[in-house]
A and B are shown apart, each in its own frame.
Chain A
Amino acid sequence: MTPRSRPPDPRRPKRRERSTGQVWDQWPTDLDWQPMAPDLRTVRLLGMTIRLVILAVVALLPLVLWLGPPGVAVAFGTAAALAAIRSWVIVRAVRAWGFAERDKDLLVKHGLLFRELSIVPYGRIQLVDLKAGPIERAFGLTTVQVRTAALGAGTEIPGLEPTVAKGLRDRLSARAAEVREGL
């Protein structure tokens, strides 16, 4: 949290000008963002594939009846192309996830196209949950879910090694109990 003392950078104004578009390039800069486990990429890709396969199986018969075999081929080709783009986005989006713990709050950033930075003060945390979907479990990953009294604003940190997740959960709940603030 202490600002790293760095020598005056001659390119600084330029850098600043260029980076006005990036929310978390400017602040907080002096944090060590924890990345997600690389396996999260696989989890997300696998999840997408499974959903697509299910959708394809369900849609196959109606599509054949409606469009005929050539139409189905076109539809599936389009779907495959979209899936390829989506996979590329997923790979990059997983890299965009990150969380950082500060003295008084937890920061979570995510999103590639629509970027989001959530700042959750420890004192406002109501619940910390660990959860894992079936694919996540197969890869030994866990999601930490943090909730405050603000509804619909659940903050998730997916793709953590179970030990990391447990450690994070314990730290969060301990700090939440230390400094509890009201609604």
Chain B
Amino acid sequence: MSDAQPPDRPSPQAAPDQWPAPAMAPAPIGPAPAAPVEIPKRRLHPLTPLLESFRLLIAVVLASSWQMYIRENAAFGVAIAVFAGVFGAFSGLLSWLYTGYRVVGGELQITEGVLIRKSRTLPLERLQGIEVAQPIRARIFGLAELRIEVAGANETEAPLSYLKLGEAHAFRKELLAVAGRGRAAEEPDEPEPEAGTPIARVGGRRLIAGAVLEYLPPTLLVFAVMIGALALLTWMLDSADAEVNLWRFGAVPILFGLAGSIIQMVTSILRNWNFTLSRADRRLRVERGVTEKHSNIVPLSRVTAVSVELPVMWRLKRWRRVRVSTASIAQQGTQGADGGDLLPVGSVAESEHVAGTAMPQLEWRELAAVLRRPPRRARWRTPFTWKIRGAGLGEDVFSVRYGLMKTTTVAVPYARIQQVEVTQGPLQRLQGLATVRARIAGSAAHDAAAVHRDAAEAVAIAAELRVRADAAAAREAPRLS
């Protein structure tokens, strides 16, 4: 976070001797508010409703073709499609007409809603970052969405989507200017000057093998379960007529599911094609893509957690995947779900090297030694993963392991822990168990949670986490300021 958000340091005038100190909410973190800039009301791009209902559109197409298939009646399917199309177009047009955004008095206001007017207000002085993102459906039309992150917002606000790409970049600059962060405007898009030293490359064959091994078992499992269920039903009904219908009805979801998982597999291969990870100074640079190169940069100082994943079939090949989460907003968007890969598939040695590079203080090999299983009485709570689950306090990181189909080991440096929570459900209380959760910046998906620990141990872990987090943060303070 040191390079992207230096203005977030507190203003030094809030010294401890001024008591009671000025309230924080009215005069938040950040630079002095700029002179109120007004940006008049604008509308989103007219194609927005079409893109917003992209998924719905696919669902409608599927539903109508399904109806055609089942009823052998083309007219009915067409009727559904036409009706949905007309209805969708009308409601889309209305919602587009009633959606607008403007900047008033240092706040970005987004109004929407036809019947119930809704207005979202984002105080720009608390701005943490803006990203211009292009999901695939938007890229087709040359559009983009703006992801705006505001300190302390409950969740990542819904993005401002969609705008023309150029417009989005221009508006981003304007917003940054309003927020008094003019110089931050050119920082993130800057291309990396030096090439850096390559750390890891992933070849096509290994990528394909990895993807197949990863997606095959769950697909086969689902396939087998569904076929089995159908066979069972057929046997129970025991009628030739019902059998034919049953298999006809059942085949479609199975085929759709199969197609879905194949598509998922292929996209995961294409996404990481020509994957190269290199290091330049204190940044990691990921390059990948089939025709056009996508590259993203992970500043080492922004890494909040490193995780190593081991899908179940990869045990055969002793392969690992390494991912990081950072405090940036891209992590929480649609791209972010895939954006954290530092090594899509690699050997144990490679994964240790990459994980060690991403978090220099981390000794991955020693980490496995500190992991402890939950107590035996917790076994029936998670019968399959009890052996896998573990949590432990490492030298510099809190580490947690979980998951059967994809065994994941997460390491969170003490200095990155935001807050610590101990929770206990009614069943856990009966058993004397509790869960400790170390929350890091960003969405809750990346938190490290030690599930079903002994209550006394959980409390001890929480206390220790707090002490170590304070110590680590104190050691780090000179670097951050």
A residues bordering B, Cβ < 8 Å? 16, 20-24, 26-28, 104-105, 111, 113-121, 123-130, 147-155, 167, 169-174, 176-178, 180-183
Looking at the assembled complex, report how far the CB atom of B376 sits from the nearest CB atom of chain A, in whole angstroms. Answer: 14
Known contacts A114-B424, A151-B442; is A183 also within 8 Å of B462 by CB?
no
Q: Which A residues touch B423, using CB under 8 A?
A: 111, 114-117
Give chain A's interface secondary structure class.
Answer: mixed
Known contacts A151-B442, A151-B444, A180-B10; is A127 also within 8 Å of B25 by CB?
yes
Q: Is B304 an interface residue (CB 8 A)?
A: yes
Question: When the two chains form their complex, are residues B416 and A183 in contact, meaning their CB atoms are under 8 A apart?
Answer: yes
Question: When the two chains form their complex, are residues B469 and A115 in contact, meaning their CB atoms are under 8 A apart?
Answer: no
Question: When the two chains form their complex, are residues A181 and B439 in contact, meaning their CB atoms are under 8 A apart?
Answer: no
Question: When the two chains form their complex, are residues B470 and A121 in contact, meaning their CB atoms are under 8 A apart?
Answer: yes
Query: Which of B11, B25, B458, B476 contacts A182 (CB under 8 A)?
Result: B476
Query: Which of B14, B126, B419, B476 contacts A155 (CB under 8 A)?
Result: B419
A182-B480, A183-B5 known; 4 new pairs, CB 8 Å cut-off, are: A148-B418, A169-B25, A170-B23, A177-B11
Q: Is B21 an interface residue (CB 8 A)?
A: yes
Query: Which of A22, A113, A127, A180 contacts B28 (CB under 8 A)?
Result: A127
Looking at the assembled complex, report how far the CB atom of B80 sits from the nearest CB atom of chain A, in whole angstroms. Answer: 28
Looking at the assembled complex, report how far the CB atom of A167 sits from the nearest CB atom of chain B, in whole angstroms. Answer: 7
Question: When the two chains form their complex, are residues B424 and A115 in contact, meaning their CB atoms are under 8 A apart?
Answer: yes
Bound: A148/B28 CA distance, A: 13
Query: Which of A172, A178, A183 contacts B327 (CB under 8 A)?
Result: A183
Give the number of A-B contacts (CB < 8 Å): 178
Question: When the two chains form their complex, are residues A23 and B422 in contact, meaning their CB atoms are under 8 A apart?
Answer: yes
Looking at the assembled complex, report how far the CB atom of A20 sits from the nearest CB atom of chain B, in whole angstroms. Answer: 4
Bound: A139/B302 CA distance, A: 45
CB closest residue in chain A, given B459: A27
Question: When the two chains form their complex, are residues A152 and B25 in contact, meaning their CB atoms are under 8 A apart?
Answer: no
Known contacts A27-B460, A27-B463, A153-B419; is A126 also within 8 Å of B16 by CB?
no
Bound: A146/B153 CA distance, A: 11
Q: Is B232 an interface residue (CB 8 A)?
A: no
Bound: A117/B444 CA distance, A: 17
Q: Is B258 an interface residue (CB 8 A)?
A: no
Q: Which A residues touch B420, using CB under 8 A?
A: 118-119
Q: Which B residues touch A113, using CB under 8 A?
A: 425-426
Looking at the assembled complex, report how far the CB atom of A21 sits from the nearest CB atom of chain B, in whole angstroms. Answer: 5
Looking at the assembled complex, report how far the CB atom of B12 sits from the nearest CB atom of chain A, in whole angstroms. Answer: 9
- Partner-contacting stretch, out of B44-52, B88-96, B314-322, B427-435: B427-435
Question: When the two chains form their complex, are residues A126 and B29 in contact, meaning their CB atoms are under 8 A apart?
Answer: yes
Question: When the two chains form their complex, are residues A174 and B19 in contact, meaning their CB atoms are under 8 A apart?
Answer: yes
Chain B: number of interface residues, binned into ranges: 35 or more
Q: Which A residues touch B443, using CB under 8 A?
A: 151-152
Known contacts A114-B423, A151-B155, A152-B443; is A181 also within 8 Å of B477 by CB?
yes
Q: Is B156 an interface residue (CB 8 A)?
A: yes
Known contacts A174-B14, A183-B1; is A20 also within 8 Å of B419 by CB?
no
Q: Which A residues touch B1, using CB under 8 A?
A: 182-183
Q: Is B151 an interface residue (CB 8 A)?
A: yes
CB<8 Å pairs between A and B, sample of 18: A23-B422, A104-B470, A111-B423, A114-B426, A116-B422, A119-B422, A119-B462, A121-B469, A127-B28, A148-B439, A151-B156, A169-B23, A177-B11, A177-B14, A177-B24, A178-B14, A182-B1, A182-B2
Bound: A118/B417 CA distance, A: 13
Question: When the two chains form their complex, are residues A150 and B442 in contact, meaning their CB atoms are under 8 A apart?
Answer: yes
Question: When the two chains form their complex, are residues B419 and A124 in contact, meaning their CB atoms are under 8 A apart?
Answer: yes
Q: Which A residues touch B332, using CB under 8 A?
A: 151
CB closest residue in chain B, given A113: B426
Q: Is B447 an interface residue (CB 8 A)?
A: yes
CB closest residue in chain B, given A120: B419
Q: Which B residues touch A22, using CB under 8 A?
A: 429, 455
Question: When the two chains form their complex, are residues A170 and B454 in contact, meaning their CB atoms are under 8 A apart?
Answer: no
Q: Is B108 an interface residue (CB 8 A)?
A: no
Bound: A181/B327 CA distance, A: 14
Question: When the two chains form their complex, are residues A116 and B419 in contact, meaning their CB atoms are under 8 A apart?
Answer: no
Query: Which of A23, A123, A174 contacts B459 (CB under 8 A)?
Result: A23
Bound: A99/B415 CA distance, A: 24
Q: Is B441 an interface residue (CB 8 A)?
A: yes
Q: Is B225 an interface residue (CB 8 A)?
A: no
Q: Which B residues touch A169, using CB under 8 A?
A: 23-25
Question: When the two chains form their complex, are residues B21 and A177 in contact, meaning their CB atoms are under 8 A apart?
Answer: yes
Question: When the two chains form their complex, are residues B441 and A183 in contact, meaning their CB atoms are under 8 A apart?
Answer: yes
Interchain residue pairs A-B with the least CB separation, the first 3:
A174-B21, A173-B24, A127-B152
Looking at the assembled complex, report how far the CB atom of B304 sits from the nearest CB atom of chain A, in whole angstroms. Answer: 7
Known contacts A23-B424, A121-B470, A127-B24; is A150 also within 8 Å of B462 by CB?
no
Bound: A116/B458 CA distance, A: 12
Known contacts A104-B470, A150-B418; is A177 also within 8 Å of B10 by CB?
yes
Chain B CB count within 10 A is highest, among A21, A116, A151, A178, for A151
Q: Is B192 an interface residue (CB 8 A)?
A: no
